[in-house]
Amino acid sequence: MRELDLSWAVNVRATLLLVQAFARLRSAADGRRPPGRVILLTSGQHVEPMPEEIPYALTKGALQQITATLAKSLADRGITVNCVNPGATDTGYATEEERADLVRRHPEWRWGEPDDAARLIAWLCSDEGRWVTGQTLVSDGGMYLNRC
């Protein structure tokens, strides 16, 4: 139960409180600020089951599911809202066995690097990404292609 409570607090509640605060700032700017961007981060729970990580998968799935609703709710303030699934990213959390398994499954034979997702997020935040809102984008380097 503790892990579930912590996952809700960190992954969902904190994220939504930040979005709410950002929307208030955007409202207070009364149109004097450039358009705003909200990027939520999800995981692969919508592509593949995560039975060993139920609290994590549940709360990351909640963020994915609220994306379209937030996008609709904040559109009149000039804020786009999108969700990014960065795929397996090498942030030091995996064991050597997990790393080797993922490399075998990946068509590019490597893990994602933080910069891989960062480039997509930077594009979504740019003027070029202004037309994209309410979407979940998967930036996993084709990780799930080997399942086909």
Please, what are the domains in the chain? 2-147 (3.40.50.720)
Who has greater pLDDT, 28 or 73?
Answer: 73
Active site residue 144: no
| Pairwise CA distance, residues 5 & 3, whole Å | 5
How much is the pLDDT for 125?
Answer: 96
Question: Regarding predicted confidence, which is higher, 123 or 46?
Answer: 123
In the predicted structure, residue 113 carries a pLDDT above the cut 60: yes
**Region 113-130: what's the mean pLDDT?**
95
pLDDT score, position 44: 83
The Cβ of residue 117 has, within 10 Å, a number of other Cβ atoms equal to: 20
Residue 148: pLDDT over 60? no
Regarding predicted confidence, which is higher, 27 or 11?
11
Q: What is the mean pLDDT of residues 4-24?
A: 96
Q: Which are the contacts of 83, defined by CB distance < 8 A and separation ≥ 6?
A: 39, 40, 41, 42, 63, 64, 67, 135, 136, 137
The single residue of 7, 45, 56, 85 carrying the catalytic annotation is 56
Which pair of tokens denotes residue 49? 């089951």
Mean pLDDT of the chain: 90
Average pLDDT over residues 83-92: 90
Which residue shows structure tokens 């070029």? 128
pTM: 0.89
For residue 79, the surrounding DSSP H or E stretch is: strand 79-85
Residues 6+ apart with CB under 8 A from 81: 19, 38, 39, 40, 67, 70, 71, 74, 133, 134
pLDDT at 91: 86
pLDDT (tens digit per residue) in 18-47: 999 999 987 766 666 677 999 999 998 888
